[in-house]
Amino acid sequence: MAEQEFDYIVVGAGTAGCLLANRLSADPANRVLLIEAGGRDNYHWIHIPVGYLYCIDNPRTDWRFRTEPDPGLNGRSLVYPRGKTLGGSSSINGMLYIRGQARDYEHWAEVTGEPAWGWEPCLADFTRHENHHALDPGGDADPDHQRYHGHGGEWRVERQRLGWEVLDDFATAAVEAGIPRTRDFNRGDNEGVDYFEVNQRSGWRWNTSKAFLRDVRDRSNLTVWHSTHVLGLELDGSGGRGPRCTGVRLARDQGDGEVIARAGREVVLAAGSIGSPQLLQLSGLGPAELLRAHDIPVVAELPGVGKNLQDHLQIRSIYRVEGAQTLNTLTASLTGKARIALEYLLKRTGPMSMAPSQLCAFTRSSDEQEHPNIEYHVQPLSLEAFGQPLHDFPGITASVCNVNPTSRGSVRITSRDPRQAPAIAPNYLSTPEDRKVAAQSLRVTREIVSQSALAKYRPVEIKPGPEYQSDEELARRAGDIGTTIFHPVGTTSMGREDDPMAVVDPHLRVRGVEGLRVVDAGVMPTITSGNTNSPTLMIAEKAAAWILAERG
């Protein structure tokens, strides 16, 4: 079996992995290997923003996971997208730039005992790689803008390149319902309504492969292997101090057979909230009962591996409207579709430059909530389910999600075969708190839509349907129409030394195993109050600094 030597091996060239490879290879003395199971990000639909429609559930770009039948969803199973290409999920996601709330990070600092996870230290990591072009040209009049945003980094942030009258009016209706306007969701308190900022550059998707790999691929000390499947971790227990991760065992699609890549310093798992726990479990690191059930020797019993799965469940309210221009109407004819294509070809604007969601709002599901606890993704379109055609009537969708769910799920291997998908069980709406917030959030949606700003469109509720009124009816209906908004986190959670379910320590080192770290969304002990892609980049930025500081 062939062997190759590196200093650092990063498993997964997704959101975290691309940044890690960039930072670790900046010192030419570090030999860095970045491994990606998917192929190059040269598929044209990756780069055209609306192309997410053709990337999700596409074997070229997506792992095509499915969840287990979920009791909270009334027995339904969901498509569960995870990026399988350079750039990972940043190549197929919604491109929405949201950090969450300051209290998210203060909570992480509290539960880990590590002050570096507090809001102000994390803000410094966000701005370090940010290239913010979302406000008015020439900088904003707000004197605090420079404190909250960076301008020289790799991670491009822009305003969206189109607006919709019906969404402008939805925003006005939200204000009438008591939600304030905001110009910036990313200063620690994201309450308010406005259009999302997006990770795009002049109408093109800006994924982490472009941002962090493209300009450094010619570094002689950086090796990138795509189309390469990691089969397991190489663990050596001969040192007398417990196991040490010395490398990875892998198979390349080029037909080289199995290869062992050795890491002189560290192996860093950045395979995501599904891939990282799967690799740990396959390598004998995880719940002992699960490992023994698959005849895998227990190298280190880590009961938290694969537990604590959290995700945002979006509950999609659909309204039929009159007299509004929506994507349903624009694409209803070949002429309309041709105009959309021509506008994008000539200007890089129009519907083909759209992120999946345009208008955002954060608010409270009830007066009982101390902080904004629900998030809206509002779209000028409607359809029965993802992947199905747009409705043949003008429609809008107001998706709402509980950003602080109390439900917890799991990721568990189903086989010793590393190519066999794990069992993903989110356990949505499995707590009374989450069912209550689901019902309340649908009432908040109805309150917004009932305002005078939207009256001219004569909105008619298609989903959930006006016949559902009681808390129990609305909660059950949420299970019928809810779906993932693609934010799985928490399956390799960080925590204090005395936390038996913590998989990694506050510096993201795997408990009881030397030379091994996890750096991806799985380390979040609790999900952020908003979209999770850019918080994952922040985690990678912080981890890279720690890794380099520990070289000795």
User: 259 in helix, strand or coil?
Assistant: strand
Distance between CA atoms of 80 and 31, rounded to whole angstroms? 34
Q: Read out DSSP for 161-178? A: S---HHHHHHHHHHHHTT
Residue 477 phi, psi dihedral angles, 5° rounding: -65, -35
Whether residue 261 contacts residue 3, with contact meaning beta carbons closer than 8 Å, is answered with yes
The amino acid at 344: Y
Q: Say how many Å lie between the first and final Cα of the chain, rounded.
A: 31
Whether 132 sits among the annotated catalytic residues: the reply is no
Contact 501, 304 (CB under 8 A): yes
Tokens for 357, please give them. 């969601």
Angle at 525 between CA 82 and CA 309, to 5 degrees: 45
- The answer to whether residues 248 and 232 touch, using CB atoms and an 8 Å cutoff, is yes
Write down the residue that tokens 């309450």 correspond to: 191
Is the alpha carbon torsion for 129, 134, 140, 144 positive or negative?
Answer: negative
Asked if the peptide bond before residue 464 counts as cis, ω within 30 degrees of 0, the response is: yes
Look at residue 300 and give its three-state secondary structure: strand
CA dihedral 350, 356, 359, 361 (to 10 degrees): -170
Considering the candidates 129, 226, 487, 507, report the single residue annotated as catalytic.
487
β-strands 423-425, 285-286 pairing? unpaired
Amino acid at position 443, single letter: R
Q: Which residues are catalytic?
A: 487
